[in-house]
Amino acid sequence: MHYTNLKPFPRDFLWGASTSAYQVEGAWNEDGKGKSVIDMMDHPEGTAGFTVASDHYHHYKEDIKLFHELGLKAYRFSIAWTRILPEGSGTINEKGLAHYERVIDELLHYGIEPIVTLYHFDLPYALEEKGGWNNRETIDDFANYARILFERFGDKVTHWLTINEQNTLILHPGAVGIPKGGSSPSKKELYTQNHHMLVAQGKAMSLCHELCPHAKIGPALNMTSMYQATSKPADAIAAHNWETLRGWSFLDLAVHGRYNRLLWSYLEENGWTPVIEEGDLLAIQQGQPDFIAINYYSTATIAESRGDSSDVSPRAGDQQIMLGEPGVYRPEENPYVNKTKYGWVIDPVGLRLTLRKVYERYHLPIIITENGIGAPDELTEDGAIHDEYRIDFIQAHLEQIQWALSDGVEVFGYCPWAAMDVVSTHQGYAKRYGFIYVNRGEFDLKDMSRIKKDSFYWYQRVITSNGNER
């Protein structure tokens, strides 16, 4: 579809940027914070831990001032469950609540809307020791934690996100990591965890509506489109298999409150169906999202399974590099796209397609809560970071958002990953994403000073012109 004139970005479009607690905060054991699964992980050799990260916990005022200078209308961040409830449930740590209150107030002071993720990968370790998401009790622990946040911040936060990338947690658990001494969960366990997370999410969404009638809440999934490798019908089925299992099945549950039939057949065939207790489906159905948040990085290309281990990619454990599964699908190369230095497909047009598909299926407003390029940015002798590849990446994606808007998709915000440099989930600090450079190395913490990258000045112009100047 071509349009002579593209629709402009809406006037109240939420120009934002994102981070998550454990990837920027540091202060991993300060002010009463409990340990999370992330704090207890074996990190791949040569990568930084999350103990200091970008030290945003101590630098939040300086950072938010920079976000203001950048022109952000919204800042999407997550609250660390372990700062609020060090043991995951039980005693509340007032210092943790007070910290986020200061962060939220600082944002509001500058007119930046806080978009708060309840849970971004960092489950309290105390809950993990009791079985984590395998344990049904975690459902009520999550609902209780969500209630605390809604009660405390409900009058200040308008947009809430439930669970960040539940599909990454279930389908690519290796990307997030396994706590020391723990073993990789089986598929049966993962789909049980998935079910418990869905019930927990449903309860949290209902609670949000009950306690904060003016607020809106939605799930944040890692969404993408799957291309079939050839016009062979079996490739089309394989692409549909994986698009459904990786994306639609999660959103169908979050929005429609029902198990996708293809997912259910797949679970039955493998003996992985979760136990559904009385009231579970009702809780999932009653928790209705007001919008859908999507994290978009790349598309993937899929071919028919060969039915043996040759289907499985040697690069396992990465949320954007498809693994392959005998009998289901096999990843294929796409000759029409480029890749980042970390092997992630760069496909801006795929974002337009994904937005169209999500909107067509659910008819809910969409916010993009992650999109960006991880790169080994370099601080050059002139004291700058010339990240023109990041400008090119975001520019191309913004153009496709405008095409999607013109297609009729309701997109109300864009929060690229990331507001500032973060520790990557599993590839260390060298893989940078931010508009703001943090002067630290993988192991050498240097002075942690903040330096505006070229992309900072560029995004600032984009925001000031409401997306017209790119």
Closest CA to 25 of 2, 1, 55, 47: 55
Does residue number 222 form part of the binding site for ligand BG6 (CB under 6 A)? yes
Size of the site for ligand BG6 (CB under 6 A): 17
C-alpha–C-alpha distance, residues 153 and 116, integer Å: 10
Does residue number 164 form part of the binding site for ligand BG6 (CB under 6 A)? yes
Nearest to ligand BG6 of 89, 340 (CB atom): 340
Considering 62, 325, 370, 469, which one is annotated as catalytic?
370
Which of 431, 440, 450, 453 touches ligand BG6 (CB under 6 A)?
A: 431
- Orientation of helix 348-362 relative to helix 388-407, angle to 10°: 30
Backbone angles phi, psi at 22, to 5 degrees: -70, -20
C-alpha–C-alpha distance, residues 231 and 213, integer Å: 49
As measured in angstroms, the least distance from the Cβ of 420 to ligand BG6 is: 12
C-alpha–C-alpha distance, residues 303 and 332, integer Å: 6
User: Per-residue string for binding with ligand BG6, 401-430, x by CB under 6 A?
Assistant: ----------------x------xxxx---
C-alpha–C-alpha distance, residues 207 and 161, integer Å: 13
**469 among known catalytic residues:** no
Name residue, tokens 């496909």. 347
Which of 166, 168, 301, 340 touches ligand BG6 (CB under 6 A)?
A: 168
Residues with Cβ < 8 Å from 90, sequence gap 6 or more? none
As measured in angstroms, the least distance from the Cβ of 194 to ligand BG6 is: 17
Helix/strand/coil for 153: helix
As measured in angstroms, the least distance from the Cβ of 19 to ligand BG6 is: 9
As measured in angstroms, the least distance from the Cβ of 161 to ligand BG6 is: 11
Does residue number 19 form part of the binding site for ligand BG6 (CB under 6 A)? no
C-alpha–C-alpha distance, residues 170 and 274, integer Å: 13
User: Which residues from 279-338 bind ligand BG6, rule CB under 6 A?
Assistant: 295, 319
Does residue number 206 form part of the binding site for ligand BG6 (CB under 6 A)? no
User: Which residues from 83-122 bind ligand BG6, rule CB under 6 A?
Assistant: none
- From the list 85-93, 103-111, 131-139, 163-171, the region that binds ligand BG6 by CB under 6 A is 163-171
Nearest to ligand BG6 of 179, 372 (CB atom): 372
C-alpha–C-alpha distance, residues 292 and 117, integer Å: 13
Does residue number 374 form part of the binding site for ligand BG6 (CB under 6 A)? yes
Nearest to ligand BG6 of 359, 429 (CB atom): 429
As measured in angstroms, the least distance from the Cβ of 393 to ligand BG6 is: 13
Query: Alpha carbon of 137 to those of 155, 168, 318, 333: distances in Å?
Result: 28, 22, 29, 42
HSE-up (13 A, CA, CB side) for residue 27: 19
Name residue, tokens 């289907």. 311
Does residue number 174 form part of the binding site for ligand BG6 (CB under 6 A)? no
Nearest to ligand BG6 of 178, 236 (CB atom): 178
Does residue number 370 form part of the binding site for ligand BG6 (CB under 6 A)? yes
Helix %, strand %, coil % of the chain (to 5): 40, 15, 45
As measured in angstroms, the least distance from the Cβ of 179 to ligand BG6 is: 17
Nearest to ligand BG6 of 154, 179 (CB atom): 179
C-alpha–C-alpha distance, residues 224 and 374, integer Å: 17
Question: Which residues are marked as active site?
Answer: 370
Task: Please report, as ranges, the residues that interact with ligand BG6 according to CB under 6 A.
Answer: 20, 23, 164-165, 168, 175, 222, 295, 319, 370, 374, 417, 424-427, 431
